Amino acid sequence: MAQTFEKLGFADGSDLSLTLATVGLISGIISGTWLIHWGKRTGKIQISREVSPELGIEADRVHTHIEEEPAITQAGKRLFRNLLIDPISLNFGIVGLAIAFGWLILRALELLESVTWGRVDGLKLILYVPLFPIALIGGILVQIILVRMGRSYIVSRPLMERISGVALDETIVTALATISLTALGPNLLPLIIISVAGITWNVYAFIFIAPRLIPFYAYERGLGDLGQSMGVTATGILLLRMVDQDNRSGAFECFAYKQLLFEPILGGGLFTAAGPPLINNYGVIPILLLTSVILVFWLVFGFWN
């Protein structure tokens, strides 16, 4: 989003965002760890029990692992024995293919915007959308193609997890290393206000709202959303592993399915990218009202459903 902030004349936005990401990363791990200990002391963490009262079945029989199926593993091994390419290179290539698909989709959307609603002085949104959320769509397309062709075994899940782990570590380290401290001084008070308000709201939503919206294993599943709401998806996954390492609650699947809707829109997605230009065009108050209406809608929907 750094280029978006620069285009809108708010270059400090990038450094402030990275600072908030750091605050979110640290506070997410600290608050999440404390809440896990609190949940164990108060008995709110159900996964430690032998039987789940909600599901009425033994917890050990629910989602005992998330490894690859043996048939897929064997097919992958046979493939790599016959290929003159390292498996990690092939999987890096698949990641690159997903990014390339996302890049093509983004260019097509920009072209569509330039000849429709974004002509001349029209509202331009796609121009500010980063590649990340569209690359997610590219990844879905690559997966669909491989499944339809019966070649899904080409993708090695363990290798993909290692690649994504390295990529995430590099992203975080390089981003934090480039933070400009000069931008923090003039914006210190709003930064503190936003940080305290964000942490307070996330913890409140986890303790008081999540149990009323999530029908089973609310504490375990809510921890994943808490960590992600602090700003980093990896924090949510880390907290899930801390509270339910063997995935007996099925929280990982619930979290992953939610990501399909969440990430392309909010997690650095379309609405996230559209936020700064929308505020720049219409002002803070109208966009605050819009997001408040969206919040109320989803709360009502959640309690009703």
Q: How far is CA 302 from CA 215, 295, 299, in A?
A: 11, 10, 5
Strand partners, 57: 52
Continuous H helices in 83-217? 87-115, 131-148, 157-177, 188-204, 210-213
First to last CA, the chain: 35
Per the CB < 8 A criterion, the answer to whether 210 and 203 are in contact is no
Per the CB < 8 A criterion, the answer to whether 303 and 211 are in contact is no
Q: Which residues of the chain have pLDDT under 50?
A: 49-66
Looking at residue 82, what is its pLDDT? 66
Cα 183 to the center of its chain, rounded Å: 27
In the chain, the amino acid numbered 21 is A
SS3 content of the chain, % helix, strand, coil (to 5): 75, 0, 25
52 phi/psi in degrees, rounded to 5 = -85, 115
- Count of CB atoms situated within 10 Å of the CB of 69: 10
Looking at residue 58, what is its pLDDT? 45
- Residues near 26 by beta carbon (within 8 Å), at least 6 away in sequence: none
Looking at residue 88, what is its pLDDT? 86
Looking at residue 53, what is its pLDDT? 47
Q: Please tell me whether the overall predicted TM-score, pTM, comes out greater than 0.85 for this model.
A: no
Spatial distance between the Cα atoms of 109 and 126, rounded to a whole number of angstroms: 7
* Per-residue pLDDT tens over the stretch 157-167: 888 888 887 88
Q: Return the CA Rg of the chain.
A: 22
Looking at residue 73, what is its pLDDT? 66
Closest CA to 295 of 192, 209, 190, 196: 209
Looking at residue 159, what is its pLDDT? 87
